[in-house]
C-alpha cells in the first residue's frame, strides 16, 4: 500500500474491539450490549446455545450487518464507514455453506478470489494451494453439490482463505458433521492457528471450544455471561471432577446426595454432583444406599460452566 | 390400527390423493399457466391475428378463430403437461424427495408412477375442459360434438407426458428441460397444423410432424369438432397415441424402480 | 461521505496480499467508475461488477446447450409466423403502408425476444441465486457490494441478450426482411430494451417470496407478448384499448424496431428511447436498493 491512505489501515494488535455492541431486528434484541476484545494471533470463541446472538455478532464483525448501537472497530476501522476495506482482509465461513453450486470446486476458489481483486494468474495458483490444504485436489474439477458435508465445509474454509485474511471468522464450523469429518476439520483449523491466523469461532459444542479456543466468552440471551480461557472458566465455574448419576425416569432425587458435593444439579435424566473427588462422592452415595442405574466420574467441562451460568444445557 | 397393503389401483388413487392435498393449498399458482394462458392465446391469435385472415380453403372455410380453437385445446393439454412431467417430477425425486417418502410405505415405485400419471391426466382434463367452456362462451366453438375433443386432447397430452416422465426419472440434473421445451414442445405446437395447415410447410417436414402426438391430437380434435372424422383414421390416431402412453409407462416403471428401489 | 474519503476507499479496498500476490496488486477500480463512486456510498460499490460477469460466463460454458437453445425460440416463431401464418394473410398495415406479414412480424419478434430473455434471466436467475443458492451472501462477504451485483448481473443479461438479438438480426437479413440501413441501430436498441426489462425484472425479483410468484411474472410478460401489436396492427383494437396498449413497454419496443427495419423513422422514435432509459434507470436504482436492504441486515 502506498500514498496518504496507507495510515488508515495500520494493523493494531487489537483486531476486534466492541463496546456495548447491540443488534435489534425490529423489536427483537439479538445482541444486548456486549464488550469484546480480540487480539492478533489468538483463537477466540463465542460459546452459547442456538439463538444466543452469536451469529448476529459474527455478521456485524464481518461487516455485512450494520450494528444497532455501541462501538465496533474491526482491524482498527469502523464497519459502517470502511466495510469493503475491512472485508478485503477478512475470511468468512458462514454457518451454512453458501458455495456456488453452479461452479466446480476449483472455479469456486478462483471466482471468489476474483471478488477480492486478485489477478487471474494469482487465483489460479492460489486455488491449487488451497485445494491441497483442504484435501480436495482430486476433486478439483468436480461439481460442488455431490460433495460430502465435510468436503463442502473444507472447501468453504479454503475459500475463506483465498485472500490470505488477517482475521478468520468461523460460524459453527463443524455443526452437522460426523465425528470423523469434525476431527479432520479441527486439524485444519489447528494448522491455521499455528501459522498465526487470528480465529473467531462460534460454536455450541463445548468440546470444539475447548479444542480450538485460547479464550472465549459464554453467550446467552444476547449477553456475555462469562469470559476467560477454557481452563480458567472451568476452574471458576465448575469443579475438577463431576459425578453423574443416572436414575430411572421420575425416580431421581437430589435430597439424599445434596451434601456430598459443593453443588448439585438435577437434569431431566440425571443428577450432577460437582466435587473435587468424584470417586469419593460415589462411594459415599453407595454407602447411603443410593442405587443409580449408572454412574460416571468425569472432569469438569465448559458444558458444566454453561449449566452453572444459565441453568440450562448447551445442546437441547 | 388396521394397516394393510393396498391393491395397485387403490394405491395409485392414494398417490393421487396426496397430490390433491397439495394442490388444494397451492392451486392458485397454476391458474395463470393452466387456465389463463390458453385463453390469452385464443384471444391474441384467434381473434386478433384472425382478424387479418380471410376465411378460405386454408381454414376449411371457417373463420380463423373457429379453425384454431380445437387445435388450441390439444396444444393446451401438451403445454400444461410440460411442467408437470419435467420440473414437478424432477423435484419430487431430487429436491422434495417426496417419492422417496412414499415408497417407504407399502406403495411401490410403479404405483408412484401410476399415481403421478393419473394426476397429470386429471390436471390436463381440468385444463382442457375449462378452455373448452371459455372457447364456447367466446363463440369460437359452436359444435356440441367438440366435447369429445377433450378426451382426445388429454390422450395426446398423455402420449407426450408418459415418455417424458420416464425420461425425467433418468435425470440427475434439470438442464435438459429447457432443451425439451425449445426443441420439442415449441416446434411441436407451431409446425403441426394447429395454427396453419400443414400444406403450407415443405413436404419433407410432414413426416416429422406425423411422429408427434400433437399432430395426431389435432387431427382428432378438429375432426370430431367439424364432424369430418372417419373411423379408420381415428382408430389409427388413437392407436398411435395409446402406444406412446404404453411405451412411456413401460419405460417409466423400469426407471422409477431403478431410482426408488435402492 | 466526502469525495476524498470515498476515493481513498477505492484505492485501498484490495486485500492485504503479502507474499501471495505481490506481483499482481489488486486491481484498483477503473477511473471510468469515478462518477458512480461519487454518488454511491462506498460500502455499496467496489467497482468490480465485471467479476460477476466472469462468473456467469463460467457457468454458461458448462450449460452451453441451454444457452444456445435460447436462440431458436424466436427463430421457430419467425419460421412459423412469417412463413406459415404469413400465407394466411396477404399484407398487413405497417409503418409505411401495407407490407408482407413476415416483414411485419419479424421486428416485433426481435423486440419480444429481447424482453423475454431479459425478464426471465433477470427474475429467475436472480431469485435462484439470491434465495436458494445464497451466491450473493458469499459475494457480499468480500469487498463487493450490492451495486456490483446489480450491475454485474444486468451486464450479463445484456451480453447474452445482445448475442441472441444479433443472431436474429442476421437471420432477418438472410430472409430479406430488412429494408433499411437504419436497421444498424436495431442491435443497440435491443440492448437498451433488454436493459430496461432486465432492470425491471431484477427489481421485481427482489420482492418475490417464493417460486409461486413467478406466475405473476408470467402474468405480466405473456399478455405483453401476445397483445403489444406483435402479431397484428394496433388498428385491430377499439380506440380505448389502443390507448392502453400504447402505454405498455413492449409496444414501444416493437414500434421502434419496426421503424428501424423498415426505415420509416421519425422524431417519435426518440420518445420510445426515452421511455426505456427512464424504465432502466428506475429499475437499477430499485434493484440495488432492495438487494442492499435484503442482504445487509
In whole angstroms, give the CA distance from residue C16 to residue C19. 9
Per-residue pLDDT of C208-231, as tens digits, reads 877 677 778 888 899 999 999 999
pLDDT band at B33 (very low <50, low <70, confident <90, very high): confident
CA torsion, ordered B146, B150, B153, B159, to nearest 10 deg:
-140
Q: With CA atoms as reference, report the closest residue to C79 among C94, C101, C98.
A: C101
Q: Which residue of A has its CA nearest to C138?
A: A98
Q: How confident is the model at residue A12 (pLDDT cuts 50, 70, 90)?
A: low
Percent pLDDT > 70 in chain B is: 99
Between residues B20 and B148, which one has the greater pLDDT?
A: B148
A7-227 homologous superfamily: P-loop containing nucleotide triphosphate hydrolases (3.40.50.300)
Are residues A5 and C8, on separate chains, in Cβ contact within 8 Å? yes
Residues of B in contact with C63 (CB under 8 A): 175
- Whether residue A112 and residue C143 make contact (CB cut-off 8 A), yes or no, is no
pLDDT for the residue numbered B11: 83
Q: Where are the domains of chain C?
A: 52-295
B contact test, residue of C94, C100, C215, C220 with most B CBs within 10 A: C215
Q: What is the ipTM of this complex?
A: 0.81
Which chain B residue's Cα is nearest to C101?
A: B52
Confidence of residue A73 (pLDDT cuts 50, 70, 90): very high
In chain C, % of residues over pLDDT 90: 30
Q: Which of A277, A202, A191, A207 is nearest to A241 (CA)?
A: A277
Q: Please say whether the beta carbons of C254 and C229 come within 8 A.
A: yes
Lookup result for grid cell 469525495: C3
Domain boundaries of chain B, sorted by first residue: 13-260
Please give the pLDDT value at position B251: 97
Answer yes or no: are the C-beta atoms of C93 and C233 closer than 8 Å.
yes
Q: What proportions of chain A, in percent to the nearest 5, are helix, strand and coil?
A: 35, 30, 35
pLDDT at C41: 57
**Phi, psi (degrees; rounded to nearest 5) at C99:** -145, 160
pLDDT grade, residue B176 (50/70/90)? confident
Express each pLDDT in C61-89 by its tens digit: 877 777 787 788 888 888 888 778 777 88
Report whether C114 contacts C161 (CB < 8 A): yes
Closest CA to B32 of B23, B24, B40: B40
- How many CA atoms within 13 Å lie on the side-chain side of A88? 26
C54, C130, C276, C219 alpha-carbon torsion, rounded to 10° = 130
How is domain A239-300 classified at the architecture level of CATH?
Answer: 2-Layer Sandwich (3.30)
What the block records as the C-alpha cell of A179 is: 465425528
- Angle of the B64-85 helix axis to the B109-137 helix axis, nearest 10: 160
Cα distance between residue B214 and residue B78, in whole Å? 8
C231 touches chain B (CB under 8 A): yes
Measure the CA–CA gap between C182 and C12, rounded to whole angstroms. 46
Q: Which residue in the set A107, A115, A119 is minimally distant from C142, CB to CB?
A: A115
pLDDT of residue B164: 97
* DSSP designation for A91: E
Q: Which of A102, A107, A143 to mutate to test the interface with C (most CBs of C within 10 A)?
A: A102
Among B41, B51, B183, beta carbon nearest to C69: B183
For A280-289, the pLDDT digits (tens) are 988 888 888 8
- Cβ within 8 Å, pair B32-C218: yes
CA distance A169 to C81: 58
B–C interface: beta-carbon pairs under 8 A: 95
For chain B, say whether C91 makes contact (Cβ under 8 Å): no
Contact flag C142-A111 (C-beta cutoff 8 Å): no
d(CA A247, CA A263): 18
B100-152 pLDDT, tens per residue?
Answer: 888 888 888 999 999 999 999 999 999 999 999 999 999 999 889 999 999 99
Q: Across the interface, which of C85, C223, C236 has its CB nearest the CB of B51?
A: C236
Q: With contacts defined as CB-CB under 8 Å, which chain C residues touch B48? A: 226-227, 231-232, 236
CA distance A63 to chain C (A): 8
Contact B200 C83 (CB under 8 A): yes
Domain ranges of chain A: 7-227, 239-300
CB contact under 8 A, C54 and A111: yes
**Which carries the bigger pLDDT value, residue C248 or residue A8?**
C248
Q: What is the pLDDT of residue C121?
A: 82
Mean pLDDT of C127-152: 83
Q: How far is CA C125 from CA A140, B88, C214, in A?
A: 25, 18, 12
CA dihedral A285, A289, A291, A294 (to 10 degrees): 30
Half-sphere exposure of residue B210: CA atoms within 13 angstroms, side-chain side: 8
Number of CB pairs < 8 Å for A and C? Answer: 139
What is the pLDDT, as a whole number, of residue C42?
58
pLDDT at A32: 94
Tell me if B40 and C232 make a contact (CB, 8 A cut-off).
no
Classified as helix, coil or strand, C20 is coil
pLDDT tens, position by position, A37-68: 999 999 999 998 888 899 999 999 998 888 99
Q: Which three cell numbers stand for residue A48?
A: 452459547
Q: Which chain B positions have a beta carbon within 8 Å of C216's beta carbon?
A: 32
Rg (CA), chain B: 19
Show residues of chain C in contact with A102, CB under 8 Å. 59, 62, 133, 135
Amino acid at each position: 500500500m502506498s500514498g496518504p491512505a496507507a495510515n488508515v489501515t495500520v494493523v493494531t494488535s487489537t483486531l476486534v474491539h466492541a463496546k456495548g455492541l447491540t443488534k435489534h431486528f425490529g423489536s427483537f434484541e439479538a445482541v444486548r450490549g456486549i464488550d469484546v476484545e480480540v487480539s492478533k494471533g489468538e483463537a477466540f470463541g463465542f460459546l452459547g446455545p442456538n439463538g444466543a446472538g452469536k451469529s448476529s455478532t459474527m455478521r456485524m464483525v464481518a461487516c455485512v450487518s450494520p450494528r444497532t448501537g455501541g462501538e465496533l472497530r474491526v482491524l482498527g476501522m469502523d464497519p459502517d464507514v470502511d466495510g469493503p476495506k475491512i472485508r478485503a482482509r477478512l475470511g468468512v465461513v458462514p454457518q451454512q455453506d453458501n458455495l456456488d453450486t453452479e461452479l466446480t470446486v476449483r472455479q469456486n476458489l478462483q471466482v471468489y478470489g476474483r471478488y477480492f481483486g486478485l489477478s487471474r494468474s494469482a487465483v489460479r495458483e492460489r486455488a491449487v494451494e488451497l485445494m491441497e490444504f483442504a484435501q480436495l485436489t482430486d476433486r478439483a474439477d468436480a461439481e460442488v453439490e455431490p460433495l460430502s458435508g465435510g468436503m463442502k465445509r473444507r472447501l468453504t474454509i479454503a475459500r475463506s482463505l483465498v485472500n490470505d485474511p488477517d482475521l478468520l471468522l468461523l460460524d459453527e464450523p463443524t455443526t452437522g458433521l460426523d465425528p470423523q469429518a469434525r476431527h479432520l476439520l479441527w486439524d485444519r483449523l489447528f494448522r491455521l492457528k499455528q501459522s498465526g491466523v487470528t480465529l473467531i469461532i462460534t460454536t455450541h459444542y463445548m468440546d470444539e471450544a475447548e479444542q480450538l479456543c485460547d479464550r472465549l466468552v459464554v453467550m446467552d440471551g444476547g449477553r456475555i455471561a462469562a469470559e476467560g480461557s477454557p481452563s480458567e472458566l472451568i476452574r471458576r465455574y465448575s469443579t475438577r471432577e463431576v459425578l453423574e448419576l443416572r436414575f430411572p425416569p421420575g425416580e431421581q432425587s437430589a435430597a439424599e446426595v445434596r451434601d456430598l458435593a459443593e453443588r448439585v444439579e438435577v437434569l431431566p435424566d440425571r443428577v450432577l454432583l460437582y466435587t473435587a473427588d468424584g470417586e469419593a462422592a460415589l462411594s459415599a452415595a453407595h454407602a447411603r444406599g443410593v442405587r443409580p442405574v449408572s454412574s460416571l466420574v468425569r472432569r469438569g467441562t465448559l458444558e458444566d460452566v454453561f449449566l452453572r451460568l444459565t441453568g440450562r444445557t448447551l445442546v437441547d | 390400527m388396521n394397516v394393510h397393503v393396498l391393491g395397485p389401483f387403490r394405491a395409485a388413487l392414494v398417490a393421487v390423493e396426496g397430490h390433491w392435498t397439495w394442490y388444494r393449498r397451492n392451486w392458485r399458482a397454476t391458474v395463470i399457466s393452466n387456465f389463463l394462458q390458453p385463453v390469452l392465446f385464443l384471444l391474441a391469435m384467434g381473434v386478433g391475428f384472425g382478424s387479418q385472415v380471410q376465411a378460405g380453403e386454408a381454414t376449411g372455410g371457417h373463420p380463423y378463430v373457429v379453425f384454431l380453437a380445437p387445435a388450441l385445446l390439444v396444444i393446451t393439454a401438451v403445454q400444461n403437461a410440460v411442467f408437470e412431467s419435467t420440473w414437478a417430477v424432477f423435484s419430487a425425486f431430487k429436491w422434495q424427495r417426496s417419492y422417496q417418502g412414499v415408497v417407504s410405505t407399502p406403495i411401490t415405485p410403479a404405483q408412484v408412477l401410476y399415481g403421478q400419471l393419473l394426476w397429470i391426466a386429471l390436471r390436463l382434463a381440468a385444463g382442457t375442459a375449462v378452455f373448452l367452456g371459455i372457447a364456447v362462451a367466446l363463440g369460437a366453438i359452436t359444435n356440441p360434438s367438440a366435447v369429445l375433443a377433450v378426451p382426445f386432447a388429454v390422450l395426446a397430452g398423455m402420449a407426450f407426458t408418459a415418455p417424458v416422465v420416464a425420461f425425467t426419472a433418468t435425470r440427475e440434473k434439470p438442464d435438459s428441460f429447457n432443451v425439451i421445451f425449445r426443441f420439442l414442445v415449441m416446434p411441436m405446437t407451431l409446425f403441426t397444423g394447429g395454427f396453419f395447415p400443414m400444406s403450407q410447410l415443405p413436404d419433407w417436414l410432414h413426416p416429422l410432424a406425423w411422429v408427434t402426438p400433437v399432430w395426431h391430437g389435432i387431427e382428432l380434435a378438429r375432426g370430431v369438432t367439424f364432424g369430418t372424422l372417419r373411423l379408420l383414421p381415428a382408430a389409427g390416431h388413437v392407436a398411435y397415441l395409446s402406444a406412446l402412453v404404453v411405451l412411456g409407462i413401460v419405460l417409466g416403471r423400469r426407471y422409477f424402480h431403478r431410482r426408488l428401489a435402492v | 461521505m466526502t469525495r476524498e474519503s470515498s476515493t481513498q476507499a477505492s484505492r485501498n479496498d484490495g486485500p492485504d496480499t503479502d507474499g501471495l500476490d505481490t506481483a499482481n496488486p489488486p486491481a484498483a477500480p477503473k477511473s471510468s467508475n469515478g462518477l458512480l463512486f461519487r454518488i454511491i456510498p462506498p460500502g455499496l460499490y467496489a467497482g468490480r461488477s465485471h467479476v460477476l460477469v466472469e462468473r456467469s460466463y463460467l457457468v454458461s460454458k458448462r450449460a452451453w446447450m441451454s444457452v444456445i437453445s435460447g436462440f431458436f425460440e424466436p427463430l421457430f416463431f419467425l419460421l412459423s409466423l412469417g412463413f406459415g401464418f404469413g400465407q394466411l394473410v396477404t399484407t398487413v398495415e405497417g409503418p409505411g403502408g401495407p407490407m408482407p406479414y413476415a416483414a411485419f412480424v419479424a421486428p416485433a419478434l426481435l423486440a419480444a425476444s429481447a424482453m423475454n430473455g431479459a425478464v426471465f434471466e433477470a427474475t429467475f436467475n436472480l431469485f435462484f441465486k439470491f434465495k436458494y443458492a445464497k451466491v450473493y451472501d458469499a459475494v457480499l462477504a468480500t469487498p463487493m457490494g450490492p451495486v456490483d451485483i446489480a450491475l454485474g448481473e444486468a451486464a450479463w443479461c445484456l451480453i447474452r441478450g445482445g448475442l441472441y438479438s444479433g443472431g436474429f438480426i442476421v437471420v432477418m437479413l438472410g430472409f430479406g426482411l430488412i429494408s433499411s440501413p437504419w436497421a444498424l441501430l436495431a442491435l443497440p436498441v435491443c440492448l437498451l430494451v433488454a436493459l430496461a426489462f432486465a432492470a425491471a425484472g431484477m427489481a421485481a425479483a427482489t420482492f418475490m417470496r417464493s417460486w409461486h410468484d413467478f406466475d405473476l411474472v408470467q402474468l405480466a410478460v405473456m399478455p405483453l407478448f401476445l397483445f403489444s401489436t406483435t402479431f397484428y396492427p394496433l388498428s385491430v383494437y377499439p380506440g380505448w384499448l389502443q390507448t392502453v396498449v400504447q402505454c405498455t413497454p413492449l409496444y414501444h419496443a416493437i414500434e421502434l424496431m419496426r421503424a428501424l427495419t423498415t426505415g420509416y423513422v421519425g422524431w417519435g422514435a426518440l420518445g420510445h428511447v426515452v421511455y426505456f432509459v427512464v424504465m432502466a434507470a428506475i429499475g437499477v436504482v430499485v434493484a440495488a436498493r432492495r438487494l442492499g436492504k435484503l442482504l445487509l441486515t
